[in-house]
Amino acid sequence: MVLADLGRKITSALKLLSNATIINEEVLNEMLKEICTALIQADVNIKLVKQLRENVRSVIDFDEMAGGLNKRRMIQSAVFKELVKLIDPGVKAWQPTKGKSNVIMFVGLQGSGKTTTCSKLAFYYQKKGWKTCLICADTFRAGAFDQLKQNATKARIPFYGSYTEIDPVIIAREGVEKFRLENFEIIIVDTSGRHKQEDSLFEEMLEVSNAVDPDNIVFVMDASIGQACEAQARAFKEKVDVASVIITKLDSHAKGGGALSAVAATKSPVIFIGTGEHIDDFESFKVQPFVSKLLGMGDIEGLIDK
């Protein structure tokens, strides 16, 4: 993932600080340039990158400060704070409650991996002993119900959907009602892919959300996305109450930096990552341990303010 791969580049950029005899504006700029280039190559939103640069710069006043060690420390910890901000929205990840019906609704752009990830998440909870099911509220995409049905059947997960009903709101409502009555604990609702430019699709998403009253809305984002992510993610958040992010296709060469802007735009943490097409190519993602690991890496150790 982006920050993990960036670790090396950032370490080497930070070495510029340790190697320099005096820390001046020039050294700082050179270091920031390296870090920003790496972030931009990883698709991190350019506005966020510029902000990071400004925020780090604003911490240091070269005229006022003395003492090389102090400057080094301040710069390094400012860099870390900003990097952590990219991935940690400062919100606790949603957790389902045992013994009650937890409705999880999936939303996202076309082809981002919603249907595949729905099955992965269902499989994950089922393996942990939760009573789990899937609902296909995508009546638009050709073969959508077959896709979910085949995935669910293979993993022996109960599912609900229809070949004839064309209104996703009705399917979603009926499915959730049915599974609530049967005391399912994890009820996952898959929806069609959509984008902010098409109002009717966004309106439909809101209607499905209102019909099923989800406990958690997951925004699914493809790791290869570039600069368009931020505006889309923000629009989804404005329409429905997105509370979690899942980044898919991290088995690709992509670093997922573009997808990270969904974290800032939706103020929601990444809860899982997808790392392949198979149902168990799925890893839970915890922001805090990830950040500690990042901060604990090699030369970086002990740089953050205690």
Ligand X SMILES: Nc1nc2c(ncn2[C@@H]2O[C@H](COP(=O)(O)OP(=O)(O)OP(=O)(O)O)[C@@H](O)[C@H]2O)c(=O)[nH]1
**What residues make contact with another protein under the rule CB under 8 A?**
37, 40-43, 46-47, 109-113, 115, 140-151, 154, 195-198, 222, 224-229, 231-232, 249, 251-254, 257-258, 277
Given a contact cutoff of 8 angstroms between Cβ atoms, the answer to whether 259 and 268 are in contact is no
The alpha carbon of residue 106 and the mean position of all alpha carbons in its chain are separated, in whole angstroms, by: 13
Q: Which does 275 bind (CB under 5 to 8 A by kind): Mg ion, ligand X, another protein, none?
A: ligand X
Nearer to ligand X by Cβ, of 185 and 222: the residue is 222
Binding mask 60-89 for ligand X (x = CB under 6 A): ------------------------------
Q: Should residue 45 be labelled a site residue for Mg ion when binding is judged by CB under 5 A?
A: no
**Nearest in space to 184 (alpha carbons), one of 246, 120, 126:** 126
Q: Minimum distance from CB of 7 to ligand X (Å)? A: 22
Tell whether residue 195 is a contact of ligand X (CB under 6 A): yes
State yes or no: residue 115 binds Mg ion (CB under 5 A): yes
From 83-91, 180-188, 244-252, 294-302, give the range in contact with ligand X by CB under 6 A.
244-252
d(CA 216, CA 188) in angstroms, rounded, equals 10
Q: What DSSP letter does each residue of 108-145 carry, written as one string?
A: ESTTSSHHHHHHHHHHHHHHTT--EEEEEE--SSTTHH
The token pair at 8 is: 């090396």
- H or E element in which residue 241 lies: none
Rounded to 5 degrees, φ, ψ at 126 are -60, -45
- By the rule CB under 6 A, 113 interacts with ligand X: yes
Of 242, 208, 185, 218, the closest CA to residue 136 belongs to 208
Q: Which does 239 bind (CB under 5 to 8 A by kind): Mg ion, another protein, ligand X, none?
A: none
Q: How many CA atoms lie within 13 A of 49 on its CB side?
A: 18
Binding site for Mg ion (CB under 5 A): 114-115
Binding site for ligand X (CB under 6 A): 108, 110-117, 138, 141, 144, 192-193, 195, 248-249, 251, 274-277, 281
